[in-house]
Structure 1
Amino acid sequence: MEAPVDDHRTTPRGLFSLAELTPGTIAALAHRSAALHRDPHAHDRPLDGRAAGILFTQTSTRTRTAFTVGALRLGATPVTYGPGDLQLATGESLPDTARVLGAMLDLLVARTAGPLDDLRTLARTGRLPVVNAMAAEEHPTQALADLATLTTVFGDDLTGIRLLYVGEGNNTAVALAHALAAVPHAHATFASPTGYGLPEAELKAATRRAGTTGAVIEQIHDLDLAPGHVDVLYTTRWQTTGTTKPDPDWRTRFRPFHVDTRLMDRWPDAVFLHDLPAHRGDEVAADVLDGPRSLAWEQAAMKLPSAMAVLEWTAAPAR
């Protein structure tokens, strides 16, 4: 497979937002993920001899495991950090921490409680590649795994795919909007309760990208307005990791966006995606999540090869 196009002409290269990658790079990373899913040994250990920092100050099952195991399989030695392991917990500044990590590590995968700009600070000050393993604004590696999962059903060419996202316009939804905006003639509809949709700036950015690819990115707040044809129905848990909702009655507002068999039956040929963890009975009914049309577990397994694809690309020398 041809290597993904290098989007960054300066070193180090990192993955912060899919909005910053070309459509060709997004597609190449998704295809590489699928290829590594089919054959986990289809690489020459490109990270052999490197030290990969794995910094997670927020809970994680799939993403942390995927990047740790992915680093090992690609030949790197992972150095893992939890929320209280670095001197950040005692008041050391982020730039000072970045300088130390950059002097010792070859790359860093990070999920922190701070904004995306914190990850940029780590990369810029530490002068090392940094992978966004989920920030408050976006979860880009999740969307790459999602695209790779869809290729297992619809083929490598996702042109024209139609997806309905139901639930909060959270960091997973933002990444999905940027990813699908890069797919030619894709049609992505984001259905959220009023006040809980995609951030306006992210929606505008994805819509601008969509204008160059023939894709459509739209937002609705009433499922009666959902498209008549959908290939994929996607949801996430209503309470995003590390966040709370100020409205005490928020569950009442989200209830119409519960995914059950009645909703799925509106699109009898659609597959179901969920980025997990799931709260059965809240955002999704158990018989949908565990049913024959659900790809949630294949989607979870795809996190490992997608992590490997991202690590491989991030650690590659700029050309």
Structure 2
Amino acid sequence: MTNSTQKDTGLNLRGRDFIGLADYSSEEIQYLIDLAVELKRKQKEGEVYQPLKGKTLGMIFEKSSTRTRVSFEVGMFQLGGHALFLSRNDLQIGRGETIWDTAQTLSRYLDGIMIRTFAHRTVIELARGATIPIINGLSDLSHPCQALADYQTIYERKGSLKGLKLAYIGDGNNMVHSLMVGGCKLGMNVSVASPEGYGPDREMIEASREIAAQTGSQLQIVTDPKEAVADADVIYTDVWASMGFEEEQAERVVAFRNYQVNEELVKYAKPDYLFMHCLPAHRGEEVSEGIIDGSHSIVFDQAENRLHAQKAIMAAIL
């Protein structure tokens, strides 16, 4: 895909931040999915495509990661650019320098910044201070890169997204926030089942409902996993205690004991349902081994598509 393709579609995302899917229109998200599919084809066929030759991406990691670091670093290399890993200890942020000053300084050296952090406000502050595109690699509020890769994966398997039902079972965390927003933007129906007190953020629910009203999607927030999974095309789950909530693991195991995705629960979904998990997974907790390692599971397709989806983001905005 070339720059002329952006012109042909009437879309030009160059210079944009990628902080959340709510900032992008349905057409722009679909464009990124299509671009990810095209870049994946090029990579599989051995076609060299390096639109970012000579460009550098700074990668700030305040949270550790396997998939985020490797996929961004490899993706930038395949696009002809260079990725620079920056831990908190590598930056003066760890010694008290402001996010604003850091953003201003790094903007003089780099062509873009990806940040994986705890507080979403850190991403916002970085974007306000930077004069180059900022990519949200994960925050406590959202995980848009993973969601984009997830919707690419469903699109590849099902051929379309509009009208499909995605059921999310588990903690109302950053992952489900991005799935709700993205799903509603793309015309999917999203059903979320969480225990009382562990549901999605209320503001994210309201934002998603406003989007759904515009696209014709349906958003359902319930406490009964069976109700959420009924006739689902896709079943999605995540760990019960996300990074930063490890001290709540014991109490969460009790609260979520009836929310495991297992052989009994999936009977309520469509026969050809897909099972998804953003990984890492705790087999025997949020999902049974038979489901995550079974024939309906596409968790490693999701993991692979982090590479292609993020290449699409970088190629489009850098």
Instruction: Give 1:299-314 correspondences, 5 Å limit.
Output: 299-314=302-317
More helix by share: 2
1:1-319 → structure 2 map (5 Å cutoff)? 2-3=5-6, 12-40=15-43, 44-113=49-118, 115-155=119-159, 157-184=160-187, 186-226=188-228, 228-244=230-246, 249-267=251-269, 268-315=271-318
Compute the TM-score of the two structures, normalised by the length of structure 2: 0.92
Q: Which amino acid aligns with 1:148?
A: Q
What is the TM-score normalised by the length of structure 1? 0.92
**Aligned amino acid, residue 21 of structure 1:** Y
Other structure's SS at 2:307 match: helix
Shift of residue 211 of structure 1? 0.7
Change (3 A) 1:77 1:226: closer
Residues of 2 paired with 1:238 and 1:43: CA distance? Answer: 41
1:247–1:303 Cα change, 3 Å: closer
Secondary structure of 1:14's match? coil
| Percent identity between the two aligned chains | 32
Letter aligned with residue 305 of structure 1: H
Q: Measured at CA, do residues 265 and 314 of structure 1 come closer, stay the same or move farther in structure 2, by a change above 3 Å? A: same
Unmatched segments (≥5 aa) in structure 1: none
Q: Post-superposition shift, 1:246?
A: 5.2
Q: How many residues align?
A: 310
- Cα separation, 2, equivalents of 1:194 and 1:61: 31
Counterparts of 1:5 and 1:166, CA distance in 2: 37
1:231 and 1:269 in contact (8 A); partners too: yes
- Note the C-alpha offset of 1:12: 4.2
Shift of 1:187: 1.2
**TM-align CA RMSD:** 1.9
**Superposed CA offset, 1:81-116 (max 9, x none):** 123111111111111111111111110011123x22
How far the C-alpha of 1:266 sits from its partner, in A, is 2.3
Q: CA offset at residue 39 of structure 1?
A: 2.5
Q: Distance in 2 between matches of 1:5 and 1:171?
A: 31
Give every structure 1 segment of 4 or more consecutive aligned residues whose post-TM-superposition deviation is greater than 4 Å: 4-8, 244-248
